[in-house]
Amino acid sequence: MEQVRSLPIPARGTLLSVEQAMQLAISEAYKGGPRVSPNPLVGSVVLDREGRFLACGYHEFYGGPHAEVNALKNLSDEELKDAHVIVTLEPCAHEGKTPSCAKMIAKLPVKKVTFGLIDPNPLVAGQGAAILHKVGIQADVFTSADKKLEQQIKTQLEEVCEAFLWNFRQKKVFVALKMASSLDGQVALKSGESQWITGPESREFVHYIRSCYDAILVGKGTIEFDDPSLNIRHPQIEKKNKVVVIDGEAELLAKFPDLKLAQIHDMQDVFWCVAADLKEEAQAKVAKMSKAPQMVFVKTNVGGDLDLEDLLAQLYQLGLRSVLVEGGAMTASSFVAQCLVNRIWMFQAPIIMGSGGSRSWTETVRIDQMKNKIQIRNPRYQTFGGDFMITGTL
Amino acid sequence: MEQVRSLPIPARGTLLSVEQAMQLAISEAYKGGPRVSPNPLVGSVVLDREGRFLACGYHEFYGGPHAEVNALKNLSDEELKDAHVIVTLEPCAHEGKTPSCAKMIAKLPVKKVTFGLIDPNPLVAGQGAAILHKVGIQADVFTSADKKLEQQIKTQLEEVCEAFLWNFRQKKVFVALKMASSLDGQVALKSGESQWITGPESREFVHYIRSCYDAILVGKGTIEFDDPSLNIRHPQIEKKNKVVVIDGEAELLAKFPDLKLAQIHDMQDVFWCVAADLKEEAQAKVAKMSKAPQMVFVKTNVGGDLDLEDLLAQLYQLGLRSVLVEGGAMTASSFVAQCLVNRIWMFQAPIIMGSGGSRSWTETVRIDQMKNKIQIRNPRYQTFGGDFMITGTL
């Protein structure tokens, strides 16, 4: 399956450098993409005493065994004698839904543990390593003699669990933005027509990306025009996702029962965001429905638009940890203009739509001087059929 | 040097398939980029009787020896016994600035000639091959058992001499468009500020691209705002280029002597395009100048803008065979809207400029339905530092 990073699993016995092993652990971690939220994505690789590949594993689903457990589970003590365990995140010190990984490894005859990131929780950071040190196992944060490669890998290590880190550090929803535009940056004609800008290869990858976030967020215009399913349709992924709809003035709410959304999703998975001023009116509409979405009443700002920060804060309270904003043009533009986007997934098709009769995804973004432009950090590029995709953080 | 396609020259004796040899011949052809216009770019590879690499060469400069001559020149009759000559274009049958390549090869002990494209001139097409057949040398158009690869290579064969083919078939100037935009398709702020959207790696490649066309074409706005040199500044390329300026209402003309352009370029290399209605007025201005550009008086269309087709036709008459349109936004948009662009070179930087306060390169392009979108054919992608580039034909 095409995923964010995807390396083949080497044959047993293949000699790997610690850098190669860490990159493989990152690739493994991504396999948990659709299922681990709100836990972090974690991957692990085990090398024998001579640095040869033995096994790998990843955190597969929320509440399930951690990556190290999956990597180590089929290896004998003989195989693990003086082995080297590589893991993207510091082995946990505490018992949670599963036993402590550090304590589990401490019982094994391994020689060395290299982890990518220290536990982000300052209260327990370093405690996993300390448990290992106590029994004579070397446990160190990943470094490399090749400082450029080290920096690249550290960036990837942060990226693979970026939503978790953001949630933990900021107590906020991680916001990703997915856009499909023409080469001239247009996402829809003025008529609203936008299907299909990109090709089938891009669209399959978009369903994979959808699976990596808790919810898909759209403005009401997108629903009015396309009546989309907003679910995950990928040959190798089965996952129910949540949906967030922004309908500030509650205009679309009355039509909710007729939408494809209402047929496909469980009602506890659909969040309908309306201005707080319209609470009673909206509740009256909902009361008449045989099935109704979860209502989220959001503060409005001076312009009368929903306050997106309040909206995100409420979604966080409701248990959502990440959303993928998928449009339309104005919704995307509002998130960008208010600097609320953590990661962008931008697909571009090799077509020209002409800005004279179509809509950009940054209409409300105004930059007065080039030095104030919005930089996309750590950009990466990938092609899908005739399209290309750029992703990076904002 | 980074060029459009760039393959390393293999060690002598390396076994090459005819497909690999043809791709190498294409890569060689590109090395002539800056110097062969109005001739076609042509490359050639010679394999020995066992299909092993002997030598390669390309058409280096206008009027200079053809590709086959350069590839064959240092090989002995012994080495050429039953050799296989691969060349991107049918060996020429006629004597022009140089002797006939087909007649030259006919005197050699080679066994086989494979050429990429038949001579585009229907009056001589096949005559080069016929000269070779007459002396018992096999001479065939390139084919491959791998039909997908064959199609890819044939596309590259057309591309490598696309300006020449367009000139020959249409008797028109080949128009390339180079744009540097943000990820949201913006090329300048409303203030006019646009330096620098892309990074130094992209900009070096742009100077290479400039060298592959006869002239750089810009609108007067670009000159007013940036006072650019519009010359070729590339560490490995020394070439004087021509410059075309569109100044329909002759507003900038009086300032010409003070422009950087006027200091840097030879006056016969600068073409200043003004509405035909203003001919006398413009000539009066020019008469007062100590140095003045070449004047081109162009028909206007109903809107009062210069008729770009007439402009291109006049440039063709003046000996120009290809131009690189470099902006600004409105100039680019006019060429796109009027379907006058043959090839696009689009550089995108990983930044967001916001369409709310900036300018797109397709403002005057209006598409009413998605089915009428402008498709970029045979798109290829390349990254330069943090930027990426897409090129294709329109």
Q: Is the pLDDT of residue A1 over 70?
A: no
pLDDT at A123: 78
pLDDT at A303: 82
Rounded Cα gap, residues B239 and B232, in angstroms: 7
- Whether residues B366 and A354 touch (CB distance < 8 A) is answered with yes
Residue B146 has which token pair? Answer: 């791998």
- Whether residues B358 and A367 touch (CB distance < 8 A) is answered with yes
Residue of A nearest to B180 (CA): A184
Q: Is the pLDDT of residue A320 over 70?
A: yes
Rounded Cα gap, residues B112 and B318, in angstroms: 41
Nearest to A213 by CA among A315, A116, A117: A315
pLDDT at A110: 96
- Angle at alpha carbon of residue A187, lines to B305 and A301, rounded to 5°: 110
H-run or E-run covering A177 = strand A174-181
Q: How far does CA A248 lie from the centroid of its chain?
A: 26
pLDDT at B34: 87
Which residue is associated with the tokens 């054919």? B377
List chain A residues with CB under 8 Å of B181. 184-185
Nearest to B329 by CA among B147, B129, B192, B209: B192
| Domains of chain B, earliest start first | 18-162 (3.40.140.10), 172-393 (3.40.430.10)
Complex-level ipTM: 0.87
pLDDT digits (tens, 9 = 90+) for A168-186: 999 999 999 999 999 999 9
Least confident piece of the model among A132-136, A204-208, A233-237, A255-259: A233-237
- Whether residues A197 and B357 touch (CB distance < 8 A) is answered with no
Those residues of chain B that have pLDDT short of 70 are 1-2
- The mean pLDDT of A121-134, rounded to a whole number, is 89
For the annotated catalytic residues of A, the residue numbers are 68
Q: Does A362 touch chain B (CB under 8 A)?
A: yes
pLDDT at B327: 83
DSSP code, position B373 = P
List chain B residues with CB under 8 Å of A185. 181-186, 355, 360
- Whether residues A373 and B353 touch (CB distance < 8 A) is answered with yes
Which of B330, B352, B387 is the best residue to mutate to test the A interface, defined by the most A CB atoms within 10 Å of its own CB? Answer: B352
- Whether residues B368 and A355 touch (CB distance < 8 A) is answered with no
* Nearest CB partner across the interface for B388, out of A344, A354, A390: A390
For residues A268 and A2, the model is more confident at A268
pLDDT at B1: 62
Least confident piece of the model among A21-25, A370-374, B265-269: A370-374
Q: Side chain identity at A70, as an amino acid letter?
A: N
List chain A residues with CB under 8 Å of B355. 185, 355, 360, 362-363, 365
**Residues of A (325-354) whose Cβ lies below 8 Å from B:** 333, 336-337, 344, 346, 348, 350-354
pLDDT at A195: 75
pLDDT at B191: 83
pLDDT digits (tens, 9 = 90+) for A140-172: 999 999 999 999 999 999 999 999 999 999 999
Do A275 and A306 touch, CB atoms closer than 8 A?
yes
List chain B residues with CB under 8 Å of A334. none
B63-81 burial, b at 16+ Cβ within 10 Å, e below that, comes to ebbbbbbbbbeebeeebbe
Residue of A nearest to B346 (CA): A183
Exactly one of B68, B159, B162, B326 is catalytic; name it: B68
Q: Is the pLDDT of residue A190 over 90?
A: no
